[in-house]
């Protein structure tokens, strides 16, 4: 991995961490709680923040790696478009899988999570694409 890929992954991860905090941690917190099956011990209080950051960093590095090594994406719009497709499929896959096995939330919660996760991933991927394009003529 070269330094541009690492920086793009880091920037994308930071964007995801901060935007996720605003969207899930503030704007949708009550909505998600209302549509989640809550039981004692389900949620960590407080959440493990370093783990959340590492998760976002992994997504950012995945976008940067795919864009640099295979897709040659070097701008925000290209990254955003590709990120929408990637995160829609991944979010849908993970949420349908969880819904199929667990009584963790209702269909409304999972549907909103797919839409929001897709848009969040698009912005993260756009950031990765934008950083990968920096310095090009």
Please give the chain's pLDDT, 137 residues, in tens.
699 999 999 999 999 999 999 999 999 999 999 999 988 888 899 999 999 999 999 999 999 999 999 999 999 999 999 999 999 999 999 999 999 999 999 999 999 999 999 999 999 999 999 999 997 64
> What is the number of alpha carbons within 13 Å of residue 137 lying toward its C-beta?
0
C-alpha 11/C-alpha 18 separation (Å) is 11
């Amino acid at each position: 991995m070269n330094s541009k890929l690492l920086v793009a992954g880091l920037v994308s991860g930071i964007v995801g961490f901060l935007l996720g905090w605003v969207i899930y941690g503030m704007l949708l917190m009550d909505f998600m709680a209302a549509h989640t099956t809550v039981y004692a011990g389900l949620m960590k209080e407080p959440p493990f923040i370093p783990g959340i950051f590492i998760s976002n960093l992994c997504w950012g590095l995945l976008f940067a790696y795919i864009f640099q090594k295979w897709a040659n994406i070097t701008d925000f719009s290209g990254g955003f478009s590709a990120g929408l497709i990637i995160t829609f499929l991944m979010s849908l896959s993970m949420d349908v899988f969880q819904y199929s096995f667990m009584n963790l939330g209702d269909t409304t919660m999972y549907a909103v999570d797919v839409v929001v996760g897709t848009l969040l991933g698009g912005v993260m991927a756009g950031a990765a694409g934008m950083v990968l394009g920096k310095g090009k003529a």
